[in-house]
Amino acid sequence: MRYLKFYKPYGVLTQFTDSLFGSEEHAQRLTLKSFIPVPGVYPVGRLDRDSEGLLLLTDDGILNARLINPKFGHERTYWVQVEGIPTPQALEQLQQGVIIQGRKTRPAHVEVLAEDPPLPPRDPPIRFRRSIPTTWLELRLREGRNRQVRRMTAAVGIPTLRLVRVGLGPLSLMGLNPGEWQDLSQTELTQLRRYCFNRA
């Protein structure tokens, strides 16, 4: 069995083949195949093309199924750069849950980061507007709905500018640069298995 963690850069599709293969647009789209030369592994869950950060890949179907099953509510940690300064009411709404696509999100942990997180610059950089400040938040969610973080922040009036997943359960992005991958250490794998299979 193989277990890899990968720092997905901005603009990369979370798949090994592109459904637009052969088209003009395809030439502009990178996939996991451009970075990971390991056969037989598949991503656990997804990250949008315009999101960055931690992606777990494995050929362990049982662990994959356990991690993506919403019943178990596995934690995902994101650093989110938003437009503007969130009000206390907006932060409370995010914590309590907001309605997106007709359903309320689960309660989330939300924290305003006191300083910019230690991330490499994004390529391409986000569009800054001098007249509008930005804020970094840490969000910890226990569900993974389609474009959930972006929909949540938009719903409370603070659109997402940059989104980086930095944690998945006990796994962390730290130590990797964009485009880099590595096999999980034995300690990481033990922690991940304990996290996945010792929960109700």
Q: Which fold has domain 75-168?
A: Alpha-Beta Plaits (3.30.70)
Instruction: Give residue-wise pLDDT tens across range 147-179.
Output: 999 999 999 999 999 999 999 999 999 999 999
Residue pointed to by tokens 């099953």: 69
- Name the strand (E) or helix (H) holding 112: strand 109-112
- Structural domain spans, the chain: 1-72+172-200, 75-168
Q: Is the pTM of this model over 0.85?
A: yes
- Quote the pLDDT of residue 168: 95
1-72+172-200: CATH, from 3.40.190.10, 3.30.70.580, 1.10.3720.10, 3.30.450.40: 3.30.70.580
The residue to which tokens 């949008």 are assigned: 48
pLDDT of residue 131: 81
Answer yes or no: 48 catalytic: yes
Name the E strands within 28-172.
42-43, 52-58, 76-83, 99-100, 103-104, 109-112, 134-141, 160-168, 171-172
Q: Which residues pair with 99 in a beta bridge?
A: 104
Query: pLDDT over 90 for what percent of the chain?
Result: 76
pLDDT of 200 above 70: no
Q: From residue 80, give the alpha-carbon distance in Å to each of 64, 186, 195.
A: 25, 30, 25
Taking alpha carbons only, the member of 54, 50, 40, 49 closest to residue 1 is: 40
Identify the active-site residue in 48, 50, 59, 60: 48
